[in-house]
Amino acid sequence: MDVLIRARYSILYVVSWEEDRVERSLREIARKRDKQMFTWTITRGMIQEGEQKNDPSTSDPLRALDFAMEHKDPALFVLRDFDPFLDDPTVERKLRDVSRSFRASYKTLIIVSPVMCIPPHLEKDITVIDYPLPSQEELGTLLQGIVDQVSANPNIRIELDEEGRELLVKAALGLTASEAEDAYAKAVVLNGALDADDVEVVLAEKEQIIRKSGILEFHPADERFSSIGGLDCLKDWLSKRGKAFSESARQFGLPQPRGVLLLGVQGCGKSLSAKAVAGLWHLPLLRLDVGSVFSGVVGSSEQNMRRAMRLSESISPCILWLDELEKGFSGTQSSSFSDAGTTSRVFGSFVTWLQEKTEPVFVIATANDITTLPPELMRKGRFDEIFFIDLPSAPEREEIFRIHLAKRKRDPDGFDLAALAEASVGFSGSEIEQAVISALYDAFDAGREVTQADLLAAIQDTVPLSETRREDIEALREWANDRARPASVHAVEELRTGRRIEF
């Protein structure tokens, strides 16, 4: 912020929930640079730092801007709750005047707001600053403040060594200052003590906050690699990367794994693989709902995305799972017309983060349609690898039948799996699972145990997606052929062209 102010940017827009923290650091800058500081609110108008009296007429946003323009000395003008007025055409015009006139002065206008909503006309005049969440050091100071406060109270025990202190501070990373303060306070109140065990309380608070944010979600990692049929290359690749998060891997000279993009036919195990990796690596799985990043108040999507990235870093090592990428990021090229470029900006910041992040956050993105995804995403260096998950081959289908029969407490060896695999050419893993379930229903309904014939009948009754959407799948294969790595060692049979004919 200091740099931008010194470089004489006229209007800054600071996105943050933490008005107080932002103002504290602005006050510091004003002091160092020997500038006056004014704060504006709609209720009280412009007030100079350290003064009480004000000119009530400056409550009017236009008057406030006039006041700033007429002011002679170097100064910072901090506007709180100003964003609702940005839509007013007169305010907009005046801000552009401010932008021009401030350039030749030592004055800066700073809008502080938790949401970003800059009208397109003003985009060139306003510089957006993403105010960082408290650093480890700041959180340390905050914790010390609480310790000092409660240490006078004889009813509260404080048992914190250096290590415990560091754990508590680390646990609160990703929270705002006031959220962290609340979490620490709650930890003290809960058991009348502050010690290393309170890390759990702070982490639980963080989980709550993550839940409330509505963008990220802790996903139970309840799948195992053994519940995925086939996909041997993918499994092999992932197994090798699991060890790469350790310190010894760093020592060995291995880079931190960045992430994979799983591209593939619907229902063939993309989401399943993401869940299984978390289970395999014993890392928390955070699911990012790409759609909901964009569904909030217009303009806050960028903040949503940034917050999600920061939070995932603060929980690292972890897996960040972006399911069905195309639902959120599709059409970034054309979106500049429909949503003032928000989608492409959010996407841009995601791609940059993907490439530059230093925290051990492993990204697993899944998609089943590449035509709508921005091509930048596929460029080398974004993901470690792009895997293409095709329909399962015959031996893989056998394995998938085996898994789903066993899952439903049937002995797979009591069935002719090879015959089932042969009958289910073109089926996805999910369709195989559905066929097993439907055969079970039929048997249950008839009051007997499920048989090979039930399974074959269920297969016969299914028209797999690969028949109805053959062109789409073939286009995807074509695309993936020289751009992605196959997830499986086996080649798949020719797809059938139409409905099977029964004689």
Q: Does 271 contact ligand ATP by CB under 6 A?
A: yes
Q: Which two tokens stand for residue 406?
A: 């066993």
Residue 297 near residue 423, CB atoms below 8 Å: no
Q: Does 426 contact ligand ATP by CB under 6 A?
A: no
Shortest reach from residue 82's CB to Mg ion, in Å: 42
Total binding residues for ligand ATP by CB under 6 A?
Answer: 20
Residue number, 105 or 462, with CB nearest to ligand ATP: 462
244 binds, among Mg ion, ligand ATP, none (CB under 5 to 8 A by kind): none
Residues 6+ away with beta carbon under 8 Å from 31: none
- How are beta strands 361-367 and 259-264 bridged, if at all? parallel
The 8-class DSSP code of residue 308 comes to H
Helix (H) or strand (E) holding 260: strand 259-264
Q: Does 400 contact ligand ATP by CB under 6 A?
A: yes
Per the listing, tokens 């620490």 go with: 184
Window 65 to 94, contacts with ligand ATP (CB under 6 A): none
The 8-class DSSP code of residue 379 comes to S
Q: Which two tokens stand for residue 189?
A: 């109140």
d(CA 376, CA 290): 17
312 binds, among Mg ion, ligand ATP, none (CB under 5 to 8 A by kind): none
Interacting residue with ligand ATP among 16, 316, 430, 466 (CB under 6 A): 430
Q: How far is CA 207 from CA 25, 135, 187, 247, 441, in A?
A: 28, 19, 14, 26, 39
Q: Does 429 contact ligand ATP by CB under 6 A?
A: yes
Residue 354 near residue 379, CB atoms below 8 Å: no
Write the burial class of residue 251 (CB in 10 Å: 0-12 exposed, 13-18 middle, 19+ buried): exposed
Residue number, 139 or 322, with CB nearest to Mg ion: 322
Residue number, 31 or 224, with CB nearest to ligand ATP: 224
x/- track of binding to ligand ATP for residues 342-381 (CB under 6 A): ------------------------x-x-------------
Nearest in space to 160 (alpha carbons), one of 117, 110, 198: 198
Residue number, 79 or 367, with CB nearest to Mg ion: 367
488 binds, among Mg ion, ligand ATP, none (CB under 5 to 8 A by kind): none
d(CA 234, CA 389): 9
Residue number, 174 or 392, with CB nearest to ligand ATP: 392
Angle at which helix 270-281 crosses helix 232-242, to 10 degrees, equals 30
x/- track of binding to Mg ion for residues 211-250 (CB under 5 A): ----------------------------------------
Interacting residue with ligand ATP among 64, 142, 234, 272 (CB under 6 A): 272
Total binding residues for Mg ion by CB under 5 A?
Answer: 2
CA-based R_g, the chain, Å: 29
Residue 483 near residue 378, CB atoms below 8 Å: yes
229 binds, among Mg ion, ligand ATP, none (CB under 5 to 8 A by kind): ligand ATP
335 binds, among ligand ATP, Mg ion, none (CB under 5 to 8 A by kind): none
Interacting residue with ligand ATP among 45, 61, 174, 229 (CB under 6 A): 229
Q: Which two tokens stand for residue 384?
A: 């470690």
Read off φ and ψ for residue 5, nearest 5 degrees: -70, -40
Q: Does 266 contact ligand ATP by CB under 6 A?
A: yes
x/- track of binding to Mg ion for residues 247-286 (CB under 5 A): -----------------------xx---------------
Where on the chain is the footprint of Mg ion (CB under 5 A)?
270-271
Where on the chain is the footprint of ligand ATP (CB under 6 A)?
228-231, 264, 266-272, 366, 368, 392, 400, 403, 429-430, 433
